[in-house]
Structure 1
Amino acid sequence: MLVVALGFVLSTILGTWITHRLDQQQKEREAITRSHDAVRAATDDLTVSLAQYQMRTMHLLDQIVAPARTSRFDEAARDYETAYANWVERSSADRAIIEQFYQSTPVIDDVRNYFWGFEKVSNAVDGCLRLYLAMPGLRDDIEHADITCHSLQTTFVLSKQMYELHFCVRGFLVTARPDPNRDFVERDAENVSLQSRMAFFKPLCREDKTGLLHETP
């Protein structure tokens, strides 16, 4: 009888421990999923914002090179203002989520470098556009390839710079968006994979090629 009672007690304790452990593991997995989902939502949000920003920018360029200014020009300028403001706002908000997620990984410097480049190039594109909007004489008899901007550091064709920004932002977002099938991959193995994926776009988006990424050690 004593043996039966002892066995019952031990099985109860073991069962309780196993249940607690399984519950703890489930909570840990749910926390990991929530963390990954937040980054996926941030990258998806930036993808939409980027698409709107690029579309409105290129539409405004079409109106800048149009032979005559119409109501479409004013509408394109307003649409650009809205899209650019949204891009700046979403970049700031989503950047905080993405950088926090990658804070303890080997690619955090790359992540910060990308966002630094996005901000720098976006500001340059915006400044260039505002120059052409403020000085109508610059828009006489020009084509897309003629819309250039000059600074102390560089000279760029605005339409080409915008396409390069879009390419590098999309490449970064695809890389930074966690694959749901790898949410529970061992951290060291995932870091190796992440470094490899991040390195693919870096040579294409270097500062000397697109104005985005400065060299990091």
Structure 2
Amino acid sequence: MNIKKVFKASATIALLGAFYSGSASATLQLGTGLIGGSGDVQNVLLTQPGVLDTLVVGELNQTHQLVNFTSNENIIVPGGGQARIEAADGSFNHIEWGLDDPLLGFAKVQFNIDAGANGSANIFLIDQFGATFSFLNQALDGSGQNFFTGFSLDNQVIVRVIIDSASGMTGISDLEQVRLGPTDRTVPPIEIPEPATLALLGLGLLGIGISRRHKKQLA
């Protein structure tokens, strides 16, 4: 076995690994229930009861940023101070929302889907890079209590949530108790490599240097 070739290959792999190990995309997650509690999110207040449109505008209760909810059909906020969005015809199969300010996203989102019957929904989280994270066939209980929490494992930012109910169910009766943790959507700084990664990078550069020197000697 040619030891120099093996060393060169190993060094090249180490070098590439050092460069690409930190370049993975954001890791947005979705879980059932109120994960981590609700102390780090704000309630979305819906202060336009009776407005019938494909767009409903809410407002965060502390920092007062606007939240836009859109659907492919008319939706409405019922009266009586309810933090709920309903479909004009009793149920809807699509709704999405995000902050009105394009410079903001949210680190965490919580919401409750009131389903008209047992079924499922496809939920999509969009990050600040435009990547879509799909959580398909999320089970919905027809009793109406279906809490979900969207969050990130690596300090990335959610900018939009989309819900599409499965074709086999009667539709989502309403969307309730939406809560957001607003944050700046600026891309986080690149992480400084750990010592082990730096060592691998040095090994890779050393291997390439030795290989080039060997080629010059043979020339």
* TM-score, normalising length: structure 2: 0.26
* TM-score, normalising length: structure 1: 0.26
| Greater percentage in helix | 1
